[in-house]
Amino acid sequence: MKNSVLTRSTAMGLLTLAFALSATSAWSQSRHHRRRHRESADDARRDSDRMRRHRRYDRTREPTTRRGRPITLPLVTAPEPFDPPPVQDSQPRPYDHVVIVSIDGLRPDAIAMTDTPNLRMLRSQGAWAQEARTITHSYTLPSHTSMLSGVDVDRHGLLHNNFTPRHGFTRSVTALYIARDAGFTTAMFVSKPKFRHIAIPGSVDVFERPDYACGPVVRQAAAHLQATREGITFVHLSEPDGAGHSRGWMTESYMRAIAQADRCLGVLLRTIQARADRGRVLLLVSADHGGHGRTHGSTQENDMRIPWIAWGSRVRLGDFSEPVSTMDTAATALGALGLATPADWTGRPVRRALDGANGAAETGVASPTRPTIAR
């Protein structure tokens, strides 16, 4: 009888324990399901946020306002008038000084969408290439090397896009090297250290990287232009590229970065204006690449198309449709100084920038009497 009671008691204990374990397991599973539900909801919210960000920086779509209109910042800067450079036809070469300004990552279609009075003035008072393109390997260092050496990457060898000392210098002679060898003063004022790869030893008298921001860069470049009569001066402004990578090409931040670069360009224009020999200075303004989304480097039109503007006393005014390559910039700089283009270069001088002093009358384009410059 006693054993029977113990057996029933043991059985009841086991049933109670089983029930407790079952309840605990059910509660644990319920808690697990609730946690999984919360995690799924959090994942859904994160996915939704990622999709919104993806749509904002979609590589195939340009940013727009909520009403679907392209983002545009108005032209608000008041331009400052100044006298045009005088034409001097009796000189043995077209120009004495060439200033090359590269605005990193500047898309030509963005110029009319933001506050760019200086770029607009240069277009209206100079020559604008409607079909200007960079090289297919459209990254900053390879493109700028082609801009200054007149050859593509297969010749100059700089395929990388950062400052890497072990890669050494470009394999191709640059316009700066040829000009200095001919007795001209050469200088580079840049905002990124990677440009050291282009400055072949013995090719550059002055190499300065004051800051990433364009203000210190153009101040040093302006001081050099005030003190140097003949030569080639290269100036690099990086604001649009930085905004493109951080916020996206064609975004409001990108537009504001272009406006800032335009103001820095105005510092150089005022310096050229103040020179007694301003008619002997050729200004070339271009870019290394465009961009889409938050990147560049492809063969898409938005990456390949670049602005190319020539401004000077012998420039044939107006937009033109003949194709221009970034490699033509180096050849044009040499031609402006009366120097021959190496036969093995791909780039060739853009003659419209060099011998078009009388072309304005032939084409019916009036010479400007009151160019304007903005601060």
Average pLDDT on 239-247 reads 97
Look up tokens 């903005």; give the residue. 374
Question: Whole-model pTM?
Answer: 0.76
Q: Are the C-beta atoms of 74 and 256 separated by less than 8 Å?
A: no
Q: Domain ranges in the chain?
A: 82-374
How much of the chain, in percent, has pLDDT values that exceed 70? 71
Confidence check: pLDDT of 304 > 80: yes
DSSP code per residue over 259-324: HHHHHHHHHHHHHHHHSTTGGGEEEEEE-S---BTTB--SSSHHHHB--EEEESTTPPPEEE-S-E
Q: What is the C-alpha separation between 37 and 336, in angstroms, rounded?
A: 71
Q: What is the pLDDT of residue 201?
A: 95
As a whole number of angstroms, the distance between CA 98 and CA 105 comes to 22
188-199 per-position pLDDT tens digit: 999 999 999 999
> What is the model's pLDDT at position 81?
52
82-374 architecture in CATH?
3-Layer(aba) Sandwich (3.40)
Q: Which position has the higher pLDDT, 183 or 87?
A: 183
Answer yes or no: is pLDDT of 111 > 60: yes
What band does 53 get if pLDDT is binned at 50, 70 and 90?
very low
Q: What pLDDT was estimated at residue 46?
A: 47
Question: Mean pLDDT over residues 75-97, rounded?
Answer: 63
Q: What is the CA radius of gyration of the chain?
A: 31
232: pLDDT strictly greater than 90? yes
